[in-house]
Amino acid sequence: MAIGDIRQRPGVVLGAAILLHVILISAQVNTASGLPVLQVVTFGSFSEVQRGTMAIIDGVRGMWSGYVALQQVQQENNALKQELQTLQVKLQQERAEAQRTDNLRQLLELRERANLDTVAAEVIAGAASVDFKTVTIDKGSSDSLDTDMAVISPAGVVGRIILPSRRASKVQLLIDRNAAAGALIERTRVQGVVVGIGDGMLRMQYVPGTADVKTGDLVVTSGIDGIYPKGFVIGTIDHADRGAGAYHEIVIRPAVDFSRLEEVLIVRTPPASRTVTEEPAK
């Protein structure tokens, strides 16, 4: 069948495409464990494309600020204005540098306080689809990173590694619908499970209706999931309702601003040998 004939039969092509996707989905759902090879290969290669894209964007930005903008200033032929603009740019660079230094200092303090084997990484890309809450970091298996390693920031828990490649890793954020963490309310030590809702907030489940829960209570990791070290801040209780069932309905506002993640720490200490710290990180 020639390509021209195929174009005359859109129904056939649609049927074939749907069948292909259904077979593809079924094959994966039935698989018991392990990561699909397609994901690893595609992610590994595309992380290089993402790295290249960011390099091109940086290059264009550099060309713009270093050549085109200066040329425009030259055309204006106004030395005073030029000097003022240069100073303003320099001031912004200094501010950005100071902000970055502050971020790194906070990371360093967190690393010392946590007493865990950690490695710092930079966020290089966001999620490929709005339905998933993930980020890509610039460290991978070559830095001894592995699946299910916890990712934290000075503000609190960020998520866990779900797909490491050689030079980059995909991190599932705690706000993703599939994310979960063992948690406890710091004030009353009541335990539960925190899960992502997908809209930027978190829900704490399995907290008995008889438990003492108040808006503003701090929620920290309990460490029972074997992924997140104990005592790290998850967020604060935004509102709690005594639902119709046996459990409270608790919504948590995350401590981390996931839209502004730049640098993070990955905990490389294996879960079994993590030391128990009672005091929260923040």
Partner 1 sequence: MRSAAAFAAILIAIAVQTTLASYLFRGSSTGIDLVLIVVVYVAIKSGPVTGLLAGSVAGLIQDALSGGIVGILGLAKTLVGFLSGLLGTQFIVTAPLPRFVLLIVATALHEGVFIGVNTMLNLRHFPAPYPSIVGQAVGNAFVGVVAFQMIEWFPGFVDRRRAGRFLKR
**Which residues in this chain contact partner 1 in the complex, by CB under 8 A?**
6-7, 10, 13-14, 17-18, 20-22, 24-25, 28-29, 36, 38-39, 42-43, 46, 49-50, 53-54, 57, 124-132, 134, 136, 162-163, 170, 172, 177-178, 197-200, 259
Q: What span, in angstroms and rounded, lies between the C-alpha atoms of 222 and 233? A: 10
For residue 14, the minimal CB distance to partner 1 (Å) is 5
Closest distance between partner 1 and the C-beta of residue 6, in Å?
A: 7
**Token duo for residue 2:** 């020639």
The Cα 18–Cα 183 span in angstroms is 41
Residue with token string 């397609």:
38
Q: CB of residue 110 vs partner 1: minimum separation in angstroms?
A: 23
Query: Shortest approach of partner 1 to residue 96 CB, angstroms?
Result: 14
Specify the residue, 200 or 280, whose C-beta has the smaller distance to partner 1.
Answer: 200
Residue 132 CA to residue 170 CA, distance in Å, equals 11
Residue (13 or 104) nearer to partner 1, CB: 13
The minimum distance between CB 46 and partner 1, in angstroms, equals 6
Pair 185, 213: CB distance under 8 Å: yes
230 close to 221: Cβ distance less than 8 angstroms = yes
Question: Could you tell me which residues are beta bridge partners of residue 218?
Answer: 236
Closest CB to partner 1 among residues 39, 103: 39
Smallest distance from partner 1 to CB 202, Å: 13
Residue number with CB closer to partner 1 (29 or 80): 29
The nearer residue to partner 1, 133 or 274, going by C-beta atoms, is 133
Q: Which is nearer to partner 1, 53 or 188 (CB)?
A: 53
| Cβ burial 134-155 (10 Å sphere, 16+ → b, else e) | bbbbbbbbebebeeebbbbbbb
Start-end of H helices in the chain: 3-7, 10-30, 37-63, 69-76, 79-114
CA R_g for the chain: 24
Q: For every residue of 163-213, which 3-state class applies, written as one string?
A: EECCCCEEEEECCCCCCEEEEEECCCCCEEEEEECCCCCEEEECCECCCCC
Query: Minimum CB separation from partner 1 for residue 21, in Å?
Result: 4
Give the residue among 147, 195, 112, 131 at the shortest CA–CA distance from 39: 147
Closest approach of partner 1 to the CB of residue 259, in Å: 6
Query: Is 198 or 280 the residue whose CB approaches partner 1 more closely?
Result: 198
Nearer to partner 1, 133 or 230 (CB): 133
